[in-house]
Amino acid sequence: MSGLPGPGPLDVPRRTLGIRIRRVPDGLLLGYRDRAMLLDGPAELIYRLADGARTVTDIADGVAEEYGIDRAEALADVLEFLGDHDDSGIFQW
């Protein structure tokens, strides 16, 4: 990451390898460590776009396009989501 607290717009997150992923009617069910997490809506899209090639800004652009929201709002939402899940182990930097 950028060295500052939390992810920054130019950071490039990627999904952590080894996480079990199952598509369920409500989204993606992630199984890792001894935990499970359901991602739906924008959270599912952010997770899918975090492929190790896209920056946080690129991911936010995808969210803005998919949901028809302002880029600045999408970037704030993506930064918040990634920051909230920084210690969860589902992303690597």
SS3 assignment for the chain: CCCCCCCCCCCCCEECCCCEEEEECCEEEEEECCEEEEECHHHHHHHHHCECCCCHHHHHHHHHHHHCCCHHHHHHHHHHHHHHCCCCCCEEC
Report all structural domains of the chain as residue ranges with CATH numbers, in order of start.
14-87 (1.10.10.1150)
Q: Residue 1: its pLDDT value, please?
A: 53
Q: What is the pLDDT of residues 2-30, one digit of tens each?
A: 455 679 999 999 999 999 999 999 999 99
Q: Amino acid identity of 34?
A: D
Q: What is the pLDDT of residues 71-89, one digit of tens each?
A: 999 999 999 999 999 888 9
Specify whether the CB–CB gap between 90 and 13 falls below 8 A. no
Q: What is the pLDDT of residues 42-59, one digit of tens each?
A: 999 999 999 999 999 999
Specify whether the CB–CB gap between 16 and 91 falls below 8 A. yes
Q: Residue 48: its pLDDT value, please?
A: 97
Q: How far is residue 70's CA from residue 19's CA, in Å, rounded to a whole number?
A: 31
